[in-house]
Amino acid sequence: MAKVSVEHVDLAGKRVFLRVDFNVPLDGARITDDTRITAALPTIRHCLEAGASVILASHLGRPKGKPDPKYSLGPAATRLAELLGRPVPLAPDCIGPEVETAAHALGPGQLLMLENLRFHAEEEHNDEAFAQALAGLAQVYVDDAFAAAHRAHASIEAITRHLHPAVAGLLMARELAALGRIFDKPERPVWAILGGAKVSDKLALVDNLTTKVEGLLIGGGMAFTFLAALGHDIGRSLVEPDRLGAARAVLEQARSAGIPLRLPVDVVVAAGIESTTALRTVGVREIPSDLMGLDIGPATVGQFAASLKGAGTVIWNGPMGVFEKEPFAAGTLGVARAVSECGGFSVIGGGDTIAAVQQAGVTSRIGYISTAGGAFLEFLEGRVLPGVAALDEA
């Protein structure tokens, strides 16, 4: 986890290839959430103030390896220019003679944004020749895209074989420090909260966490597969029948390890996501056969909050219900408040979880909010992240 930071590299007069994650949501050409752009600002400013010229590179969406105007990084360049108060020219491509000329012509304190890396299929194929072409644009490699660190792509992994030093940006360094704090020397007890729709997305995570934490709280749609594995009638609630055996194995593993794995004791049920009038709260043994669970109930929120009292570290990923629908948001918002009041170091990750914390108005009381989704989960699963492994060791 200990990687060289951009703060420890002499950047004066150097061209820096700065891999950022500007994979932002768009409504046409309008960016609807610029969080990932603002998160990269400290590293961009650091490089410019250190006397470097900066070549920004990112992917956006899934353009299937060929140019597609709707996935252009033009809106990101425009928004970044507004935030920096200076022009951010967009190159016509990310490789090629015209791009090389523009990159090599940059002076200290100047910026150039490359066009979408995924306009070339070679990016996702981790192609060596493509990576070498990218590396030829600069003299220093800085990776500030932790959210993409689980991808072995050319601008993330292969490029580091052709461009050195290869160091962590300020955002990357903060992510590694916060996530390292979870497992390297965590303040105990450690509790993890997992939600979201599918057990299949989280089985490897649950398996790894049972060896790392003192307790697990499980809500969201995934909880119903565990409840079904225990023999509960869950009505029309979301369930993955092919994962019932795996869920039983996880429950047994937690029991054998002496790790409390707590499931909902009550749920909010309705006929469907759009049926917001005839909803009610029932115990998990009383779910009507014609209804589905769409949120955890107040008794569960109370039990989960009580479990977190005195926690030294709390890790949270995934909502407790269909929280984007107001009638089914109370459980997730209640857990967000409980995490903020636990007194320990809290780390959250995943877009829905971040949105819930913001909606609950407790963002300032969370220890660390990870910008990553898939990379956050893969780290918690104990996997090696290619984009982290590729950077120079401190």
Residues designated catalytic? 36, 198, 351, 374
Round to whole Å and give the CA distance between 280 and 276: 10
Which burial class, exposed, middle or buried, applies to 30 when counting CB atoms under 10 A from its CB (0-12, 13-18, 19+)?
Answer: exposed
Which residues have C-beta within 8 Å of that of residue 273, sequence separation ≥ 6?
294, 322, 325, 328
End-to-end alpha-carbon separation of the chain, Å? 9
Cβ atoms of 235 and 264 closer than 8 Å: no
Round to whole Å and give the CA distance between 4 and 205: 28
Round to whole Å and give the CA distance between 159 and 156: 6
**Bridge pairing between strands 166-168 and 53-57:** unpaired
- Radius of gyration (Cα) for the chain, nearest Å? 23
